[in-house]
Structures are given as C-alpha cells and as structure tokens.
Amino acid sequence: MQFDHTAIPSTNIAGSVEWYRANLDADVLYQDSTWAFLNVGGVKVALVTPTQHPPHIAVRVTEEQLAAAALAAKIPIDSHRDGTRGIYIHDPFGNAVELICYPAGQTIYANEPRAPSRPL
C-alpha cells in the first residue's frame, strides 16, 4: 500500500486546471468536464466536482488487496472512467479514503507502477 493522490473539490474543473498549470506548473494526466488528474511536483492531485466524488486521500493497493477490502467492507468495487478500480471507506472521523488499483494494461496511464503487495 502506498499513497496515490489527494482529491480536492472544484466547481470549475477547467478553470482549476488552468490555475494549477499556470501557478504550480502542473501536468495534466487526465481531464474531462467533471474531473481532472494532475501531477503537481511529483504528487498526484485530483480535482473533483462535489456532486461526484468526496474530498479524499487515496492509497494504491493491489487487485487482491482491493477485493479483500471490498469484501470486508461489504461494498462493491467501482470501475472508473480512467480504467482504475476502487472503493471508498471512511476513517473513524468521517474522512473518505479511497483504495485504488491500476489493473495492468487496463488504465489510460502509461507505465503506471503496481502497488507493493503487502497485506492491508
């Protein structure tokens, strides 16, 4: 398991992307009208619309770890538009934590490293 990204809300994805590009030299990994994924100084930041995704942190897990966590939480695994798969769980204080995996050869990201395979 390793840190993958943080997600912050935006009511204007395109405007937010331009701000992060102009002010923080962000690289756009993916963008559509309701979601963007940026690389900001080597750290991934997701810009999310409040009606589609909660603000959250995400940790990368293997497909096996994701399946086990989904089973334990009794929730289905979501398939995302970029080919990743994940679930949202919450810490005891109500903060959203996404467990995300990048199935080999199934995401839009080239050369995406795999998660370390340690137990959760």
pLDDT digits (tens, 9 = 90+) for 58-100: 999 999 999 999 999 999 999 988 889 999 999 999 999 999 9
104 pLDDT band, cuts 50/70/90, is confident
Given a contact cutoff of 8 angstroms between Cβ atoms, the answer to whether 69 and 119 are in contact is no
- Whether 117 has a pLDDT exceeding 50, the answer reads no
List of domains in the chain: 2-101 (3.10.180.10)
Compute the distance between CA of residue 3 and CA of residue 100 in angstroms, rounded to an integer: 10
Least confident of 2-6, 15-19, 102-106: 102-106
Q: Which residues of 7-31 are buried (b: 16+ CB within 10 A; e: fewer)?
A: beebeebeebbeebeeeeebeebee
pLDDT score, position 110: 64
Residue 19, SS3 per DSSP: helix
pLDDT score, position 112: 52
Mean pLDDT across the chain, nearest whole number? Answer: 90
- Whether 108 has a pLDDT exceeding 90, the answer reads no
Sheet holding 43-48, edge to edge: 27-31, 35-40, 43-48, 2-9, 56-60, 96-101, 85-90, 78-79
pLDDT score, position 53: 87
